[in-house]
Protein backbone atom coordinates (compact mmCIF):
# COMPACT_ATOMS: atom_id res chain seq x y z
CA UNK A 1 0.00 0.00 0.00
CA UNK A 2 2.82 2.44 0.88
CA UNK A 3 4.66 1.94 -2.46
CA UNK A 4 1.41 2.62 -4.32
CA UNK A 5 0.89 5.87 -2.39
CA UNK A 6 4.49 6.90 -3.04
CA UNK A 7 4.08 6.19 -6.76
CA UNK A 8 0.84 8.19 -6.92
CA UNK A 9 2.42 11.09 -5.03
CA UNK A 10 5.44 11.04 -7.34
CA UNK A 11 3.17 11.03 -10.40
CA UNK A 12 1.23 13.98 -8.99
CA UNK A 13 4.41 15.96 -8.26
CA UNK A 14 5.84 15.26 -11.73
CA UNK A 15 2.56 16.24 -13.40
CA UNK A 16 2.50 19.50 -11.44
CA UNK A 17 6.13 20.23 -12.26
CA UNK A 18 5.51 19.52 -15.94
CA UNK A 19 2.55 21.90 -16.01
CA UNK A 20 4.52 24.60 -14.17
CA UNK A 21 7.49 24.26 -16.52
CA UNK A 22 5.24 24.49 -19.57
CA UNK A 23 3.59 27.61 -18.13
CA UNK A 24 7.03 29.11 -17.44
CA UNK A 25 8.05 28.52 -21.07
CA UNK A 26 5.03 30.56 -22.20
CA UNK A 27 5.86 33.33 -19.72
CA UNK A 28 9.47 33.37 -20.93
CA UNK A 29 8.31 33.58 -24.55
CA UNK A 30 6.09 36.59 -23.78
CA UNK A 31 8.91 38.34 -21.90
CA UNK A 32 11.35 37.77 -24.77
CA UNK A 33 8.86 39.15 -27.31
CA UNK A 34 8.28 42.26 -25.18
CA UNK A 35 12.03 42.70 -24.72
CA UNK A 36 12.68 42.50 -28.46
CA UNK A 37 9.82 44.89 -29.19
CA UNK A 38 11.42 47.32 -26.75
CA UNK A 39 14.37 47.66 -29.12
CA UNK A 40 12.14 48.70 -32.02
CA UNK A 41 9.42 50.78 -30.38
CA UNK A 42 10.21 54.05 -28.69
CA UNK A 43 8.10 55.01 -25.70
CA UNK A 44 5.81 58.00 -26.12
CA UNK A 45 6.90 61.23 -24.49
CA UNK A 46 10.64 60.95 -25.07
CA UNK A 47 10.75 64.33 -26.77
CA UNK A 48 11.87 62.94 -30.13
CA UNK A 49 15.13 61.50 -28.91
CA UNK A 50 15.78 57.81 -29.19
CA UNK A 51 15.08 56.09 -25.92
CA UNK A 52 14.46 52.71 -24.47
CA UNK A 53 11.65 51.55 -22.24
CA UNK A 54 14.15 50.14 -19.75
CA UNK A 55 17.01 51.71 -17.81
CA UNK A 56 20.20 49.69 -18.01
pLDDT in tens, 8-56: 888 888 888 888 888 888 999 998 888 888 777 765 555 555 555 555 5
Q: What is the pLDDT of residue 39?
A: 73
Residue 46 lies in a domain: no
CB distance 43 to 51 below 8 Å? yes
Report the alpha-carbon distance of residue 43 to residue 14 in Å, rounded: 42
Full residue range of the structural domain in which residue 16 is found: 1-40
Residue 51 lies in a domain: no
pTM above 0.75, yes or no: no
Residue 55 lies in a domain: no
Residue 34 lies in a domain: yes
- The count of domains in the chain is 1
Residue 27 lies in a domain: yes
Residue 3 lies in a domain: yes
Amino acid sequence: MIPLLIALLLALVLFGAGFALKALWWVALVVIVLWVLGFFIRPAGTGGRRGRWYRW
